[in-house]
Amino acid sequence: MKIRELKALVTVAEELHFGRAADRLGMAQPQLSELIRRPEADTRVTIFTRRPHVRLTPGGAALVDTAREVLGTLEAGTERARAIAAGRIGRVTLGFSPVAMCSDLPHVLRSFAETYPDVELDLCEGTTAPLRRRLDQGSVDVIITREAEQDETTESVRFALDHINIILPAGHPATTTDPVAPECLREEAFTLFPRSAAPDYHDRIMRWANNAGLSPIFTRATDSWMASLGLVGGRLALAFGTDLLSRITVPGIVYRNLAADPLDVSFWMSWQPERLSPAASRFVDHVRATRPA
């Protein structure tokens, strides 16, 4: 049966009057009568008795119940489809560098969840290079990393301003001043993440350190900020931190600026417009609305 015929069955069953049912459906009564005759012919079931007044037959009542169920399912499916198309329902997979959580990212996630409660947010931490590969593969929708991705397929917007600083163990002689003169730290042992994790970010730090006259000696690589903080706290190395990371208070470590030109290591939100689902597009628009022009 067609949808028009299902609606006609239900409406006549509710009105038990062909004239009133036709008015509700916005059609002529002969047209409505024809719509009812078709399912009666297809099912070989008399759905309504017409005289002395309109009544549902037992078989007709069963068909009308089925029609109501079908129409209800169709209406629910249509509403869900519209919600998905509008981005009110769906899933967004966000990849982010861990220190991004020191920015206002948690507040952004909360406000998005409050605005779109039926959109699921999947969060995955990672370093820049793996996250960029996942973005290219389509396994994440949006990434927030230290590197701005800008090419023919990818767009980026600055998410959070950040600058490099130095992490020292408490009691280190250089902690008595802020900013610290580069010569006070020359040839000190440092720890830094592997270049393969974020090549551009790694190279910018190295150029900045060398231009400042720091000449750091790298004794070991660490895969996480927490490992770096632990090494500094254990007096095994110094490390490069950032203003956002400085919001994490850890016993035994001190953050200091370096007496050098500031190095911008902002976080950037990147996405591929052609691959965004409606829900992911809502997320991107929500975040962009919270960023300074």
| List of domains in the chain | 3-85 (1.10.10.10), 90-160+267-290 (3.40.190.10), 164-256 (3.40.190.10)
**Lowest mean pLDDT segment, chosen from 69-83, 230-244, 267-281:** 69-83
Q: Which pLDDT value is given to residue 169?
A: 96
Distance (Å) of CA 286 to CA 10, 112, 170, 218, 289: 42, 7, 41, 41, 5
* Cα-Cα end-to-end distance for the chain: 55
Q: Which pLDDT value is given to residue 275?
A: 93
Amino acid identity, position 117: P
Q: Which pLDDT value is given to residue 144?
A: 97
Q: Please say if the pLDDT value at position 228 is more than 80.
A: yes
Mean pLDDT of the region 86-109 = 95
Q: What is the 3-state secondary structure (H, E, C) of 201-261?
A: HHHHHHHHHHHCCCCCEEEEECCCHHHHHHHHHCCCCEEEEECCHHHCCCCCEEEECECCC
Q: Please say if the pLDDT value at position 149 is more than 80.
A: no
Mean pLDDT of the region 262-282 = 96
Q: Which pLDDT value is given to residue 137?
A: 95
pLDDT tens per residue across span 119-131: 999 999 999 999 9
pTM over 0.85: no
Long-range contacts made by residues 146-152, C-beta under 8 angstroms, separation at least 24? 146/97, 146/198, 146/200, 146/201, 146/265, 146/266, 146/267, 146/268, 147/198, 147/200, 147/201, 147/268, 148/268, 148/270, 149/268, 149/270
Q: Please say if the pLDDT value at position 150 is more than 80.
A: no
Q: Radius of gyration (Cα) for the chain, nearest Å?
A: 32
Mean pLDDT of the region 125-147 = 94
The model's confidence at residue 293, banded by pLDDT at 50, 70 and 90, is low
- What share of the chain in percent tops pLDDT 90? 75
The model's confidence at residue 221, banded by pLDDT at 50, 70 and 90, is confident
Q: Is-contact 271 155, C-beta < 8 A?
A: yes
41: closest CA among 19, 63, 20, 22?
A: 63
Q: Which pLDDT value is given to residue 124?
A: 95
Q: Please say if the pLDDT value at position 28 is more than 90.
A: yes
Mean pLDDT of the region 163-178 = 95
